[in-house]
Every structure is written in structure tokens, then in C-alpha cells.
Amino acid sequence: MSNNGGALLQITGLSKGFPGVQALQDVDFTLRSGEIHALMGQNGAGKSTLIKVLTGLYKKDAGTMLLEGTPFEFSSPEEAPKHGISTVYQEVNLIPNLTVAENIYLGRQPKRFGAIDWHTLNRNAEEAVKRLDLDIDVTQPVSSYSMAIQQLVAIIRALDIQARILILDEPTSSLDAAETERLFDVLRKLKSQGIGILFVTHFLGQVYQISDTITVLRNGMLVGERPVEELPKLQLIEMMLGKSIESLQKADKKTSKECETGTDTCFLRAQGLGRKGTMHPFNLEIRKGEVMGLAGLLGSGRTETARLLFGIDKAQQGKLFINDESEVLNTPRKAIAHRFGLCPEDRKSEGIIEDLSVRENIILALQARSGIFHKLSPKRQSAIVDKYIKMLDIKASSQNQKVGDLSGGNQQKVIVARWLASNPEFLILDEPTRGIDVGAKAEIEKLIVELSRAGMAVLFISSELEEIIACADRVAVLSDREIVHEIAGDEIEESRIMKIIAHGDKQ
């Protein structure tokens, strides 16, 4: 804990609402000089809203914000850097084909007689780079360096605006372990210079590696601020999820699981399947008639696992066996040929085709498999679509309604219908219930279990542990892009999963 510096930034009672959502409510936050402060919370906890209010992108509704004791509120994000608050966003905001030096000074190049003074520019850039013990040629294009270096260049750019506060939003999400370590070295150096760092990440391990203080938000409200050493991992997860382990253990025991393992035939077996930078090599077995759950926090590698299995990302190592035969799935098309189906996490950009009708959206996957010249007759299309509209209770005015006009839950059902229509043997559902109402959610959960009992192999990914527990026969728990442990049967309870997420398989 660092009490050596005074409060650089002090926020009290901050509130911010959007129509229909209270994104922040009465939140306090303090950042001290020479402190690395992690801001934690699940999706929708209000982390990004807090940052956006801080940097002037949103206007606060209520509360006070003090910068070194003086109240402030920026009217636009351009003002924040001028007052010493610099932000580095998740995606590197650099111009790839400009040099490192140009990127650092873009928009504020040193000038001489109205022209850019290249000599000073490059010399200054070199010094700035050296200050962080970085040995790179500043006259090379940024794109010639690795993601980590690019991330560091973005930080140098932010720091060069005489920053006293540095906000890092998920800076490590595209970095590997060595690169992350390098970034952390730089952060420690900055810390020793008295800069206050606000650090947002989903990687639990990293929080304990680097930060001094943790503030947890949940549903727009402050859960608490603790020094790192006083907050064990398990308690942090409890704070983030809003449940205590003890209460869960009791609840779990009461509900007896109706876990009848289906036929034992293994449909899919992954052996050391992995891809550098996205997923550590993992082993995974998925049996027919069984729901395999993937649990883990956001960014733990759940979606990455699905993408590897479905051939969207090519595996760089390991083997995949389907019905005990070794197969290489390097495109979704090949996966589909083996009767795979995938309901992707990002419904809007990867799932539905908004401009097309409900009917077209549902029959497309089946049509793609049967080929261009075997067009399903309008009659058959109608019959299939009718069947699934009834089965999933999709609320659409007609088969010809544009999918873009449906509600989120109904759009999700359309995607599920699309894959059911293609009659898959293995269905991957990545967050199928996100953002849909309780009723639709229960229906989809029920459907998942029914499908598996009918002999389908299902891989079910969800952030909500209750859902996984309710549906899955076995659960693989992921943490920091690794499958750390697999549990089955009576072992599947929330407290156990949370412990595994926190401590790996040591328990």
C-alpha cells in the first residue's frame, strides 16, 4: 500500500445514468501518486463509464471530481491530456505506417520556421524511448515492431504529454507473457517516478503481480477499495460476482443434480490443441449426449477455445480427433462438414444478417451445406422455419420480417434455429443467453439440456455460473487462457468453480 503520495485524483459520489440504465451510482475512487490501482468488475460493472466520465467523453450527473484538490470536469476528451490525464486504450491507437517518432509527436511536432523540425523530433523521441529503457530505432515504422512495443510506444506518447495520471484500459489483452512482463517493468518505473496509474484488466494474475490497490465495481456501484495484500483472490472474485462462497456452498448442497451421463461415446477429443498468443495447449473431450460447460472470467480463453475448435483460428499445435479420427479443421466450412455448429458470442457482427429475413437467416447454414445448386424449395424452407419458430417460440410478425427488427432474445433464437436446422452433431454455444430476458433465457437453457439428451454433443460457454451449473454435465474451468481443471458430477458447484478460477487446480 502506498501512502507515500497524496491523492492525485479524488472522486466522490459520482453518478452517471443512461436512458434505462444507471451506469454509475455514488462511486468513490481515489488514485494516489506513485500507485498502481486496478479497477475490477464484470462486464457492465461501470469500469469504462468511469474512465469515460473521467476523460471527458461523458458528462457526470452528480458527484465531485478533484484533480490534486481542484474540482474539474472536461468538456471533451482532448482536454484531459492537457491536464495531465492520459489514456491508452485497449486497441493500439497508433498509425502503423508512420515512424515511432512521428507517432509519439503526432499533432505536436516540434517546428522550425513553420516546418517540422525532424532532427529535434527524432532526438526527443529517442530520449523519450530511452527513459523507459527501450532500445528501438525511432525512425522505423511502428508496424515493424511487436504488439508489446507498439503498446509501449502508445504509453510513451501518452506520457510525453506530461502525464501525472496514466489510464490503461486492458493494455495486456493482446500481449503474451514475456511482452506483458516488459510492460510491467515500464509501469513499475513510472510508478517510481510518482505517476498514478489506473489499470483495467480481466486477468486476475496480473492484478496481483503489479497493482497496489484494487477497487471493485459491480452493477455501477462501488463494492470496495482494498490494498492488494489484504484481498485474497477468492474474496476478489466474490466481490466481483457479488456472492459469498459460504452462502453458495449451502445453496449448492440443497439442489441435487440430476446428472445422468449420456452415452459414453466420445465425439470430439482435443489433444494439446493450442495457438500462440490466444490459447495455451489444452486437452478436451466432448461426448455425445453430454453438455460440456466452459467456465471462467471474461478473457480467460473461452471464446478462443470455441474459435479453435470451429476452425476460425487455425490451431498451431496439437491434434483434434472427431469420432476417433484425426482431422484438421482450418476453416469453419470443414467444421460444418463434420456437423459442427457455432452460435457466436457477438450476435450482431458474427451471427445474424440484419438485412435478411427471419426465414433466410434460419435456412442459410443448411443451404450453405447443401450447396448452391440444391436450393431448398420455398415450401421446404417455410416448413423448416415454421417448425423452429414454433419450437423456440420466436416472436416475429412473419417469416419475412427483417431479423434486424427483432429483439435481442429473438435474434439469438434465430441463430440457434439456424444451427438446429442444419441438424448438427456438435453445437458450440458461446454466451447464448447474454443480454436476453429471463424467460427466453430459461427456454434456451432448457433447450440445451434437451438437445444433449437427444444425443447431441454440446459445448456451452457462459459467464453466469448458475447457468453452467444448471446445464452442464462436466465443466472445464479456464483461467488466463488455460484450461486449469475439469470437474464433473457433484463437484460442479459455484464455490468450487470460483476457487478453481482463483487458485488454479491446486485445490
Partner 1 sequence: MSLKPSFLQNETTAKLIWPLAALSAIIVFNLLFTPGFFHIEIKDGHLFGSLIDILNRGAPVMLVSIGMTLVFATGGVDLSVGAVIAISGAIAAHIIRPDYVKGVIEYGEVAPLIWVIGIPLLISLVAGLWNGMLVAYIGVQPIIATLILMVAGRGIAQLITEGKIVVFIHEPFQYIGGGFLFGIPVPIVLVLATLVVTYLLTRRTALGIFIEAIGANPKASLYMGIRANVIKVAVYMFCALCAGVAGLIICSDIKAADANNAGLFLELDAIAAVIIGGTMWGGRFTVAGSIIGALIIQSLTTTILTRGIAPEITLVFKAVVIICVALIQSETFRQLIAGHLLKKEAGK
List of residues contacting partner 1 (CB under 8 A): 310, 312, 331-333, 335-337, 342, 344, 349-356, 360, 364-365, 367-376, 400, 402, 418
User: Would you put residue 272 in left (φ > 0), alpha (ψ -120 to 50) or beta?
Assistant: left
Helices (H) and strands (E) in the chain, counts: 17, 22
In angstroms, rounded to a whole number, what is the distance separating the alpha carbons of residues 456 and 423?
Answer: 9
Minimum separation from the CB atom of position 411 to partner 1 (A):
12
Minimum separation from the CB atom of position 433 to partner 1 (A):
19
Instruction: Classify residue 432 by its DSSP letter.
Output: T
Instruction: Classify residue 400 by its DSSP letter.
Output: T
β-pair partners for 7 = 32
Contact 170, 296 (CB under 8 A): no
Q: Which CB sits closer to partner 1, 183 or 421?
A: 421
In angstroms, rounded to a whole number, what is the distance separating the alpha carbons of residues 444 and 481?
Answer: 27
Minimum separation from the CB atom of position 177 to partner 1 (A):
29
Q: Which CB sits closer to partner 1, 372 or 438?
A: 372
Q: Which CB sits closer to partner 1, 360 or 493?
A: 360
Alpha carbon separation from 227 to 1, 2, 37, 208, 232 (Å, rounded): 6, 9, 9, 10, 10
Q: Which of these, 52, 49, 54, lies nearest to 73 by C-alpha position?
A: 54
Q: Which CB sits closer to partner 1, 413 or 418?
A: 418
Q: Which CB sits closer to partner 1, 148 or 352?
A: 352
The amino acid that residue 280 corresponds to is: H
Q: Which CB sits closer to partner 1, 217 or 417?
A: 417
Three-state secondary-structure class, residue 152: helix
Minimum separation from the CB atom of position 282 to partner 1 (A):
22
Q: Which CB sits closer to partner 1, 5 or 332?
A: 332
Q: Which of these, 328, 312, 267, 309, lies nearest to 452 by C-alpha position?
A: 267
In angstroms, rounded to a whole number, what is the distance separating the alpha carbons of residues 102 and 104?
Answer: 5
Distance of CA 177 to the CA centre of its chain: 18
Place of cell 456501484: 221
Minimum separation from the CB atom of position 364 to partner 1 (A):
5
Minimum separation from the CB atom of position 285 to partner 1 (A):
24
Q: Which CB sits closer to partner 1, 352 or 448?
A: 352
Minimum separation from the CB atom of position 322 to partner 1 (A):
16
In angstroms, rounded to a whole number, what is the distance separating the alpha carbons of residues 370 and 272?
Answer: 33
